[in-house]
């Protein structure tokens, strides 16, 4: 049975919600998942693959996600890894491309780790939870739940195919 760690780095909880949806979808595809915050991971023993996600804040992928990749770079180099980020205020081509550049910059710090899948999803702004000047931004939620579920299905197919491939 293929065991997947779905881990996430979040400040306000919206990345956790995306990670939960991904884990649920992976489970629906017959994979066993464990969902944990990236800051709480001590080891990767017992996992066949990892999905790691983090929010993008002011041009940078969440520190806990970056730290996770750096700390576990050696075992991750030999595992299947899928990566996602949330953050652009819209899912316009321009905003997604800018967010992808930010995520790619973070991934460049661990070149030995090569994800089998990478995705950018829209972000969430809840002004009441933010400090000035961000508290003046309009509320928004650009997460596309259909796209998130579709990506999780693709990840499940890729991981499942790789797990059952002859050695």
What tens digit of pLDDT does each residue of 45-87 get?
999 999 999 999 878 999 999 999 999 999 999 999 999 999 8
Domain boundaries, the chain: 3-163
Q: Does domain 3-163 have CATH number 3.40.50.360?
A: yes
Task: Tell me which of 105-109, 134-138, 153-157 is least confident.
Answer: 134-138
- Residues of the chain with pLDDT > 70, as a percent, come to 86
- pLDDT (tens digit, 9 = 90+) per residue, 114-136? 999 999 998 776 556 655 666 56
Q: Are 53 and 26 in contact (CB under 8 A)?
A: no
């Amino acid at each position: 049975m293929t065991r997947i760690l779905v881990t996430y780095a979040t400040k306000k909880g919206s990345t956790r919600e995306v990670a939960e949806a991904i884990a649920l979808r992976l489970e629906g595809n017959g994979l066993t998942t464990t969902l944990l915050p990236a800051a709480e991971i001590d080891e990767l023993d017992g996992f066949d693959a990892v999905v790691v996600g983090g929010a993008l804040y002011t041009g940078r992928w969440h520190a806990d996600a970056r730290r996770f990749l750096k700390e576990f770079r050696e075992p991750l180099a030999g595992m299947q890894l899928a990566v996602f980020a949330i953050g652009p205020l819209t899912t316009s081509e321009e905003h997604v491309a800018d967010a992808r550049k930010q995520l790619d910059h973070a991934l460049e710090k661990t070149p030995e780790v090569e994800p089998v899948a990478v995705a950018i999803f829209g972000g969430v702004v809840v002004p009441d939870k933010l400090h000035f000047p961000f508290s003046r931004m309009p509320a928004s939620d650009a997460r596309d739940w259909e796209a998130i579920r579709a990506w999780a299905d693709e990840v499940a197919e890729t991981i499942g195919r790789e797990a059952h491939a002859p050695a």
